[in-house]
Chain A
Amino acid sequence: DARVTQTPRHKVTEMGQEVTMRCQPILGHNTVFWYRQTMMQGLELLAYFRNRAPLDDSGMPKDRFSAEMPDATLATLKIQPSEPRDSAVYFCASGSPSGQGPLRDTQYFGPGTRLTVL
């Protein structure tokens, strides 16, 4: 049963600390998305990669957030320094070409990392 895995599932940290979240996409998927979900804003796209290259990170605060794909099986999202307003659930999704016109990727979401910054 192929699925996206994310670690850690929960993270509590103090303001100013560095936070690293990891995602293992489904084997064979070549697109990876990072989302943030809050009650007020809903689900927001932070960044996405195709074939490990960043395609768009316009949704990400550049001064403190960074996203990378060191290899095809690992994507990371880092926050340094973390702030209380970063508290949210962070989802990773991986995509596979669906072969259905311009909508190339069906996105499969991981279980999320619940981040609390005190």
Chain B
Amino acid sequence: QKEVEQDPGPLSVPEGAIVSLNCTYSNSAFQYFMWYRQYSRKGPELLMYTYSSGNKEDGRFTAQVDKSSKYISLFIRDSQPSDSATYLCAMSGPNTGFQKLVFGTGTRLLVSP
């Protein structure tokens, strides 16, 4: 079993929908939680990160961490076709070295006009 699990999708939604992307993890020592967006044939780019539990909002994006359930989420409001990409969650903690990120395999999101 992988340390970080993520549904590969694809997740298909109409433009304007609220999107929920999720990851579960098994390592309770993880403290930093990140979401990366990866367009086709490109490298991942950091969208958001959160430390420990709680919510963080940035524009249309909200990241949520529930450490008690070992579950993190990324919500996208008013989704746009330009949001179509693969979304990767990543985590790190003191026992892995904070710079060593453990990634999920990614969820492919398709937003149709």
Contact of B92 (CB < 8 Å), options: A48, A91, A103, A109: A103
Segment at the B interface, from A12-20, A38-46, A62-70, A71-79: A38-46
Once A56-B97, A103-B92 are accepted as A-B contacts, the answer to whether A42 and B43 lie under 8 Å apart by CB is no
Instruction: Judge whether B99 and A111 touch: CB under 8 Å.
Output: no
Complex interface residues of chain B between 70 and 89 (CB less than 8 A to chain A): 88
Complex Cα–Cα for A65 and B100 (A):
19
Instruction: Judge whether B88 and A104 touch: CB under 8 Å.
Output: no
State how many residues of chain A have any CB contact under 8 Å with chain B: 28
Output the least CB separation between B106 and chain A (Å). 6
Once A109-B43, A111-B43 are accepted as A-B contacts, the answer to whether A41 and B105 lie under 8 Å apart by CB is yes
Once A43-B44, A109-B43, A111-B42 are accepted as A-B contacts, the answer to whether A104 and B101 lie under 8 Å apart by CB is no
A93 touches B (CB below 8 Å): yes
Contact of A103 (CB < 8 Å), options: B32, B41, B106: B32
Complex Cα–Cα for A52 and B101 (A):
19
Complex interface residues of chain A between 10 and 61 (CB less than 8 A to chain B): 31, 33, 39-45, 48, 55-56
Complex Cα–Cα for A42 and B23 (A):
14
Instruction: Judge whether A42 and B46 touch: CB under 8 Å.
Output: no
Nearest-neighbor residue (CB-CB) of B31 within chain A: A102
B49 touches A (CB below 8 Å): yes
Q: With a CB–CB cut-off of 8 A, which chain A residues contact B43?
A: 4, 91, 93, 109-112
A99 touches B (CB below 8 Å): no
Q: With a CB–CB cut-off of 8 A, which chain A residues contact B104?
A: 42
Complex Cα–Cα for A111 and B31 (A):
28
Q: With a CB–CB cut-off of 8 A, which chain B residues contact A43?
A: 44, 88, 90, 103, 105-106
Output the least CB separation between B37 and chain A (Å). 11
Nearest-neighbor residue (CB-CB) of B42 within chain A: A111
Output the least CB separation between B67 and chain A (Å). 16
Q: Top 7 nearest A-B pairs by Cβ distance?
A: A109-B43, A42-B105, A43-B103, A102-B98, A103-B32, A109-B44, A103-B98
Q: Which residues of A contact B (CB under 8 A)?
A: 4, 31, 33, 39-45, 48, 55-56, 91, 93, 95, 101-112
